[in-house]
Structure 1
Amino acid sequence: MAPSERQKMAAGEWYVCLDPELEALRETARDAVFEHNSLSPRDRGNIGPALANLLRAGEGARIEAPFHCAYGSNISLGGGVFLNAGCVILDTAPVSIGSGTLIGPSVQIYCAEHHKGAAERRAGLEIARPIDIGENAWIGGGAIILGGVRIGANAIVGAGSVVTRDVPDGATVAGNPARRIGGG
């Protein structure tokens, strides 16, 4: 039997994102995100209950509203992680954010990469690439992290940067595309 689109997505192969099973999973995530974003801060706590059921979060992890994710189930947050308002995570592949990491406002984390061919894009063909952010990293506001990237522990990504390649432990990067400007 041929693998499902969900199985192909999880395996890092090209898959069709317009698949009904994937749409049902995204609908579950949209409902959880809506609940999270609609609750008052007192009622929401660190992470809204429905969203907390989708993703894995260590003690003290916190997600400010508004927040958006594609599936939620591919997101893992270490203890004490903070996602500021306006964070978007398109988690078509695993997104791991290490303990103590701070994510600034309006940061966008994109695992999905659409096909370069126009006909294939219209058909919904995409591939998912994982993103790993190490412990105690700091991602400045408005930064964009592209799929397949690893950001090392204690690294700093300057506000507004577009990260297209790995960032070593302790390094500081900034710009579009992000380039090393200091650190380890």
Structure 2
Amino acid sequence: MSKQYQNLLAGKLYKTDEKIQSMKEKGRYLSRLFNETTEKENTKRKKLIKQLFGSTGENYTVKPPFYCSHGLHIYVGDNFFCNFNCIFLDLNKIHIGNNVAIGPRVSIYTALHPIDREGRNTGLEYALPVIIEDDVWIAGDVVINPGVTIGGGSVIGSGSVVTKNIPKNVVALGNPCSVHREITEKDKSDWEAMYEAYQASIE
């Protein structure tokens, strides 16, 4: 592991070296092949995602087009669903738990640049990991910024810009994203009523 790559994973300043560049090229090559597949090539799609991501659980679906940086820094759990046109800028690691659903046009960013313009002009950058815990739903057009953790069971409303950690079992939304309310037993009872009505409709 090169020193620059060690710095990258540690959230320190780094500059792209040969190793990092080769990882980017492989990720972009595999994602291009994935985006060129057709709806009749699901087996090929799953194989390419398996090659692209750092790890996958059981039962994963990614809808093309899908864009990423390295790919290798994306780790997803069981029952993962990612809708159309998502961007995962995985300079640092993106850890996604079990039973996570991601809506269309969601962007997850790990890359950061110095605020000072002279610092930016050096070409040095840094990156912070993103963690999405189990049983999370990210609705469409959400932006998740570097260093954020989204707690298990939470829902992020469409169009939100997540700039700080979100606790477990809440509905959060807005720009910047903040907690709207907790998820309660009423949400469960509302679901049960909807499900009973559904069951009655198909009998």
Could you tell me the TM-score, scaled by structure 2's length? 0.84
What does 1:89-100 align with in structure 2 at a 5 Å threshold? 89-100=88-99
Counterpart residue identity of residue 92, structure 2: A
**Is 1:171 aligned to 2:174, yes or no?**
no
C-alpha RMSD of matched pairs (Å): 1.5
Per-residue deviation, residues 20-73 of structure 1 (Å, max 9, x unmatched): 322221110011000111011221438442331131111111110000111011
Compare relative contact order (CA 8 Å, sep 6+) and give the higher one, 1 or 2: 1
Could you tell me which of 24, 40, 52 is aligned with 1:42?
40
Check whether the contact 2:60–2:81 (CA below 8 A) recurs between aligned residues.
yes
**Shift in CA distance, 47/97, structure 1 to aligned 2, threshold 3 Å:** farther
Q: Deviations over 1:95-139 (max 9, x none)?
A: 111111110000000011111122332332111111110111010
CA gap 1:134/1:31 in 2 versus in 1, 3 angstroms: same
Please give the alpha-carbon distance, in whole angstroms, between the structure 2 residues aligned to 1:31 and 1:79.
25
Aligned position for 1:63: 62
Change (3 A) 1:110 1:142: same
Q: Which moved more, 1:98-107 or 1:119-128?
A: 119-128
- Higher alpha-carbon deviation: 166-175 or 49-58: 49-58
Q: Which amino acid aligns with 1:29?
A: G
4+ aligned runs moved over 4 Å, structure 1: none
Post-superposition shift, 1:180?
0.8
Whichever structure has more helix as a proportion of its residues is 2
Aligned residues: 181
- Helix, strand or coil at the partner of 2:181: strand
Decide which structure has the larger Cα Rg and report it: 2
Instruction: Please tell me whether the aligned partners of residues 144 and 163 of structure 2 are also in contact (alpha carbons under 8 angstroms).
Output: yes
Q: Which structure shows the higher strand fraction? A: 1
Q: Comparing 22-31 with 118-127, which one deviates more in the overlay?
A: 118-127
Q: Which runs of 5+ in 2 are unaligned?
A: 184-203
Letter aligned with residue 53 of structure 1: Q
Structure 1: gaps spanning 5 or more residues: none
* Equivalent residues in 2 for 1:155-170, closer than 5 Å: 155-170=154-169
* TM-score, normalising length: structure 1: 0.92
Partner of 2:118: 119
- 2:148 counterpart residue number: 149
Question: C-alpha distance in 2, partners of 1:85/1:63?
Answer: 8
